[in-house]
Amino acid sequence: MVIRRWSRAMPAAVLVLALGAPSTATAQDVEYERIVNGNFDSGAADPWWTSANTSGAVAGGEWCVDVTGGTVNSWDALVGQNGVPFEAGQSYTVRFDARAESPQQIAAVAGEAVEPFRQIARLDAALTPERQTFTLTFQSGLDFPAAGHGQLTFHLGGQTFDNTVCVDNVSIIGGVQPPPGLEPAPPLRVNQVGYVPGFPKQASVVTESTTPVAWTLKNAAGAAVANGRTIPVGLDPASGENVHTIDFSAHETPGAGYTLTVGAETSFPFDISTSALTRLRYDSLAFFYHQRSGTPIEERHVGAAHARPAGHVNVAPNQGDDDVPCRADLACGYTLDVRGGWYDAGDHGKYVVNGGISAWQLQNAYERTLLRGDPATLADGTLAIPERANRVPDVLDEARWEVEFLLSMQVPDGQPLAGMAHHKIHDQQWTGLPTLPHQDAQPRRLSAPSTAATLNLAAAAAQASRLWASYDPAFAARALAAAEKAYAAAKAHPDVLADPADGQGGGTYSDGTVSDEFYWAAAELFATTGRYRSDVTGHPLYGGESLDDRGFDWAATGPLGDITLSLVPTSLPAADVSAIRATVVSTADTHLANMARSGHPAPYRTTDGRYEWGSNGLVANNGVVLALAYDFTRQPKYRDGAFTAMDYLLGRNPVNRSYVSGYGDQPVRNVHHRFWANQLNPALPIAPPGALSGGPNSWLQDPVAARLLTGCPPQRCFVDHVEAYSVNEVTVNWNSALAWLANWTAEQTEAAGACRVTYTASTWPSGVAAQVTLKNTSTTAWSGWTLRFAFNGNEKLTNGWSAKWTQTGRDVTAKNESWQRPIPPGGTVTVGFNASKTGPHTPPTRFTVNGSICTA
């Protein structure tokens, strides 16, 4: 995550003055304001930025900037706003109020944000402790579109003393071109990748009609294959549109190139296929190899366009990550070798807090397949990474690349905070776009340790320990030792919080509440060791108390502990595990209720309805909750909800765009990234397939979004622009959520091509009688079949019918009798059994036939 971006004015530009030139423009009937948030009434400074030697905060309705003294040039300390539009030959008036704690000369400069840094106008101002108003009218000699390279900066450097400068009511009025508004999006919105036979297939259409309208489904040849009438939803607050739903679920014929039409409008094409979503499972995981630090990204794995040299390995101009000191003000007295890990986002920072949840989610995706899915889908050889063919599941290899980095961020023994983890490591100053990792010349610095980072390390390393025990016992032991050391250090230092002002050169990732991280870490340690039980059961969040309809993320990690406790067998009472699962299910019910009222359903809701930074990551994580609810209950409504979340991410949304690069006819192309910056340099690539954009953000926290999207309804606050980092950045934790959900949906679609199961049971205090109906949903007949599932309690088979029944532990197998006929495609067979039991009977949640997972 990135909080600020700035462009540095060059000395040559400062010598170029074009002030107060007479204007030849005619008077305008409308005065257009070109500055965003010039009065700071929101209480925040976005989209204003600060540079080196400055840090600012809004207080008392003005923006006050602390300026470090001892600089030589005025441009050595800058604040400003990018994306300001100027039209050559047009008149503008710049106006602002300003004061300074100590008298100081500053300059307001209108000009160009990139080389050659041409200047349009400059207003020199002598500040005093008394607030003054400064104004200048000038004519622009340059053209810059909105969200282009125009800029207003305040030059605050060049003085010997520290100072505080405050500005307010900053305004530039002029020009004849009105500010841009929201670009219209085509009214028909579909999952641009595809839908699955046997599952719901829905789309959204915007229309002024308040009554149902006709729709037609056409195949690739343009022939109508289905038709019907829409279902009015009404005015949709999230999009600001009148929306109808199109339900074409009844059409099951596989094919490519389907389209929907309503009147003269036609949707983007899509497939109906059991394999439509399977490739995303691996492309979403490939993102992490692309983000690796400290190793070359090889052409044989990613292709020529996305290959690059290793970054931050002490090859000039890099200064390397092998001997990184703390920030100068921390004076920690040691350096760390922190090579490796993943670059967090579009910048070159590496963050323990965000890395922890990302590594955990990849490992959890694999652990879930061990317990409820098919681990072969994530086995060795499934990803294009250097470690393939090492007899370790590739997803674990990829996660280990980050876990090793997390371990390297631990404070050494003998230091005052030994065992704690440094919060992050990144550049001393922000770098510009584009900058490839091996081109980064900035010094690298460690930020202070934090309790949150330490608990992220403890949780992810404890989880890694149990998953690696059979593959690399030495690494598993090392990870567990580091996890236990970190947890003990966090308990000794429970309130060391990350500095919210530590945002120069990297994102802050500050978190004022770490109770959730304590719960998560304790749950992972308990699941791995069997110890720490009282830390889990005695925690206020125990039992799903932190699950809600906003969702979990790097700052809200309590649900990660719940997910582990609901999946991984432990010594917890069965009733407690059932209660946690019930909370997952009830949260999923809340998501479904919210989605049922939406024109473009997404499982995400905030208290005020606005969308926030990384909303797509929250949508994906809430899709995980829906998926787990299906795992726990086998009720199709939860499965359908998870697929609806994927529909939203892949194009069924108000901007009519797939938020996943390389997927759909209109995917994001210009994600905020220093290498995938084709929009700025055509010699560079766009994002590879499988990268998830952060998505709509009502707060518009960058200059491009603020200028282009003002007044946007929540789900429309998005633009596909490389410099719109508050809506279009990528991060490891959003992609880990996508990867988890993509693997789960792929698993379900593969099952859709094999079999479907219906399970019904009647119970009494000491027994259960159950009937299981199997449907062959594949395209070939079953000449023989083997059904497998597992009991969740202490059930014991007493007899069965219409199959050969056996039981080993909790695992149950039923094979066809020799007299039974083959089951043709679409055919069914019904079998049943009786079993003894004590306690409640929870229906099995995973069934396979001939090795293929069945859907409910």
What amino acid positions are annotated as catalytic residues? 347, 672, 720, 729
Give CA–CA dist 140/88, Å, rounded: 5
Are 191 and 270 a contacting pair, CB within 8 Å? yes
Burial of 538 (0-12, 13-18, 19+ CB in 10 A): exposed
For 17, phi then psi, to 5°, come to: -115, 140
Quote the longest CA-to-CA distance of the chain. 99
Q: Token digits for 653?
A: 């949304």
For 4, phi then psi, to 5°, come to: -140, 150
Bridge pairing between strands 150-155 and 91-100:
unpaired
| Contacting residues for 415 by C-beta, under 8 A, at least 6 apart | 332, 333, 334
Are 213 and 207 a contacting pair, CB within 8 Å? yes
Are 21 and 124 a contacting pair, CB within 8 Å? no
Are 602 and 715 a contacting pair, CB within 8 Å? yes
**H-assigned helices in 74-185:** none
Give CA–CA dist 584/579, Å, rounded: 9
Are 50 and 6 a contacting pair, CB within 8 Å? yes
Angle value at C-alpha 664, between 661 and 665, nearest 5 degrees: 110
Q: What does DSSP assign to residue 178?
A: P
Q: What does DSSP assign to residue 185?
A: -
Give CA–CA dist 631/402, Å, rounded: 28
**Whose CA is closest to 708, among 62, 4, 47, 132?**
47
Are 358 and 736 a contacting pair, CB within 8 Å? yes
Give CA–CA dist 695/622, Å, rounded: 15
**Whose CA is closest to 399, among 323, 511, 475?**
475
Bridge pairing between strands 786-790 and 767-776:
unpaired
Give CA–CA dist 312/300, Å, rounded: 21
- Residues shown for the chain: 856
Are 444 and 320 a contacting pair, CB within 8 Å? yes
Q: Token digits for 150?
A: 């125009």
Q: Which residues pair with 155 in a beta bridge?
A: 78, 107
Segments of 250-356 assigned E as strands: 255-262, 265-266, 270-272, 324-325, 335-336, 350-351
Are 355 and 259 a contacting pair, CB within 8 Å? no
**Where does residue 175 fall: left (phi above 0), alpha (psi -120 to 50 degrees), or beta otherwise?**
left
Are 194 and 203 a contacting pair, CB within 8 Å? no
**Whose CA is closest to 239, among 611, 641, 616, 509?**
611
For 467, phi then psi, to 5°, come to: -80, -25
Q: What's the one-letter identity of residue 261?
A: T
Say how far residue 631 (Cα) sits from the centre of its chain: 23
Burial 742-753 (b: 16+ CB within 10 A, else e): bbbbbbbbbbbb
